Amino acid sequence: MLYFSSLFPVFGQIVNEGTFKIMDGTEVYFGNEYTNKNGATHDNEGSLHLNHNFVNNGVTSIPTSGTTYFDSDTNTVQSISGSTNECHFYNLEVNLTNVSKQGVSVTDNFGLFVKNQVVLTSGDLRLVGEAQLIQTNNIANAGIGKLLRDQQGVSTTYGFNYWSSPVHTTGVFKLNGGLFDGKDAALNLFTPKQILFNSGSPYNGKTSVVDGGGNVLTAATINTSWLYTYTANTTGYAGWNKIYQNNEIAPGLGYSMKGTGAPSQNYVFKGTPNNGNYSFPINGGQTLLLGNPYPSAIDAEQFLTDNASVLNEIYFWVDGGTTSHNLSDYLGGYAVYNLTDGASPSIIQGTGGVGTASGVPERYIAVGQGFFIDAVANGAITFNNDQRVFKPETAVDSKFLKTAKKVIAATTDLSTKSIVRVGYRDPEGFHRQIVLGFMPNSRANFNYNPGYDALMVDPRADELFFVIENDLSKKYVIQGVSDYESSARLPLGLVMSETGTHTIMLDGVENFTETVYVFDKVLNTTHNISEANLTINLPTGTYLDRFELVFEPVNSEVALGIEEMDKSKFNVFYNGSESIVINNKNSVEIIEVQIYNAVGQQMLKLKGNTLLQPSNVIPFNYPKGMYVVVVESNQGNATYKIVN
């Protein structure tokens, strides 16, 4: 164990193999690279001055005081790296004095934890790739230096991303002066070129111009026609607020932006790192475009919990391959995340995939990610440092949502909740995913639960959704319930506006091994979607009390909540001469008879006043196959299957 308690200069390279502690009031100077070795512990509560790189392969204690200075007078760039992929400082100050200074680079996929303040006195702090800065105390960062952080967006000139800046300049962010072209970031870490801007027809951005070595000569161009915020009390397109490259955007507000047309586009945010609390007053029913305000990921569950009094879920736009600026041609949809889990958007087949989890939002919201919230009450939306976490997008539970072409593995807390993802494909090929979560030790149950049940904000003309508390006016895309019960039955709503094949399938499960079925209450059939898709060909219409998601074969009369009638009171059969015969030898009062084909289409519907005889013959000239006859009487209902 090595302690320093006075002024202590070291000019050679030093490697810590044990416990290295700098006491409060002590100043230590390292002239060459310092390595905290695997198994070693670094603890600085004094002042550590580094003239070279900091390599952390061991443990850095979470300090209660002290400052680490990167203040080389000989090096243009210093770096923070190490196999541990994180390090902890109390205060961090960058103060390079070399005439050609650039700053301090933090290696890709590295978490830089600063408990108190970042001071960029002279030189910049470069977060390379997926590196992140996580701060604890609510103190303003200082200095004339800048933090630089990469993020990639949708590349097409037609597709939208919703963004939020992790940096500011004098309290606000401007695209002009804050957003740079990162196409050559690997070559020019500290000196990206300012993004350019154009406007008007043809309303397209432009790609970067690079030299033979890959250096950007002319930066990429963003078309300002597509720059908007959304902060109005009204909903719909009237709520969009036009902005330009010099408009001020407060930390935590989101904005829309289309791409440059490059096959891939890396942007660099540059400014003072955002830190501390950001709050936005909001009224019930109001929609806001917000976004992660920090140069680190944030925990969506903590954000939702902190703001539970005013919001229930978060919505992320996912571009579906839009190839035009015309509004009617936009492809994409809103992915949803709440305390249960995330659900992917409705994306057409070939873009989002069918039977996959494409575009599923994860628990951790990436740097620069914008999103929508719908307020359920008056109050304020608040971001705070407690929501910040180190989660690179290389992890499966943090993604910047832009397109749905990449299949994203869904991540859940496997020790507790179980997730069932049910997919629905309409005849046009659009794929909707609805998500059921079994949530032990939560307040969720089979009724409506704020924070666990999420509404569908972008329903199409053809949709599958959960029906909760028999409220037929609302379409739910996520339903969270309590512990798993094999007897559970979840009502499904199905709206069909066009003829053709509609398909219900199992997209996937997490921490769940039971069989998943769809029960048809009319046909009295239970279809195993764990084994095969369910195809439906029904007349157009709205089916709100026909289908259920179940986990064991169901007795139809119990499921329907009706009294089962003794089937022997009727004798129902096909007579071989294009007729169905209903023998009513006990003169039971028949209220109605309905006949369905094997895929659930209603073929005939007869009122009981036409079936008054002891033997009733119903003409039935339909294609050969299996049919279901449902007889409703004053003594209950009975279901019969016939083959013609």
Successive 10-residue mean pLDDT values, the chain, 644 residues: 54 83 92 95 96 97 96 96 97 96 97 98 97 97 97 82 96 98 96 96 93 96 95 71 96 95 92 98 93 98 97 89 68 89 78 46 94 95 98 66 39 69 93 96 93 93 95 95 94 94 94 95 90 91 95 64 59 89 88 85 84 88 88 85 85
Q: Does residue 407 lie in a domain region?
A: no
Q: Are residues 290 and 387 in the same domain?
A: yes
Q: Does residue 16 lie in a domain region?
A: yes
Q: Are residues 496 and 621 in the same domain?
A: no
List strands edge to edge, sheet with 8-10.
8-10, 27-30, 47-50, 67-70, 91-95, 118-122
Q: Are residues 78 and 57 in the same domain?
A: yes
Q: Are residues 335 and 452 in the same domain?
A: no
Say which DSSP state 563 is in.
P
Instruction: For residues 54 and 44, give the distance between their C-alpha atoms in angstroms, rounded to a whole number.
Output: 13
Q: Does residue 172 lie in a domain region?
A: yes
560, 584, 606 - which closes a domain: 560
Instruction: For residues 546 and 96, give the distance between their C-alpha atoms in angstroms, rounded to a whole number.
Output: 70
521, 541, 560 - which closes a domain: 560
Q: Is the peptide bond before 345 cis (omega within 30 degrees of 0)?
A: no
Q: Whole-prediction pTM value?
A: 0.85
> What value, to the nearest 5°, has the Cα angle with vertex 399 and ends 395 and 403?
135
Q: Are residues 501 and 622 in the same domain?
A: no
Q: Are residues 87 and 184 in the same domain?
A: no
Instruction: For residues 103 and 558, give the distance between their C-alpha atoms in angstroms, rounded to a whole number.
Output: 71
506, 540, 560 - which closes a domain: 560
Q: Are residues 523 and 592 in the same domain?
A: no
Q: Are residues 141 and 169 in the same domain?
A: no
Q: Are residues 176 and 304 in the same domain?
A: yes
Q: Does residue 335 lie in a domain region?
A: yes
- Domain range enclosing 638: 567-643
Q: Are residues 512 and 373 in the same domain?
A: no
Q: Are residues 172 and 197 in the same domain?
A: yes
CATH code assigned at 631: 2.60.40.3080
Q: Does residue 103 lie in a domain region?
A: yes
The domain tally of the chain equals 4
Q: Does residue 528 lie in a domain region?
A: yes
Q: Does residue 406 lie in a domain region?
A: no
- The DSSP H or E segment spanning 605 is strand 602-607
Residue whose token pair is 């070129």: 193
Say which DSSP state 253 is in.
B
Q: Does residue 411 lie in a domain region?
A: no
Q: Reduce the DSSP state of residue 387 to 3 states and report it.
A: helix
β strands within 154-286, DSSP E: 160-163, 167-168, 179-181, 193-194, 196-198, 209-210, 216-218, 221-223, 228-230, 240-242, 255-258, 265-273, 278-282
Q: Are residues 36 and 180 in the same domain?
A: no
How many C-beta atoms surround the C-beta of residue 241 within 10 A? Answer: 13
525-528 and 590-597 beta bridge pairing: unpaired
- State both tokens at 478: 């996520």
Residue whose token pair is 């195809």: 535
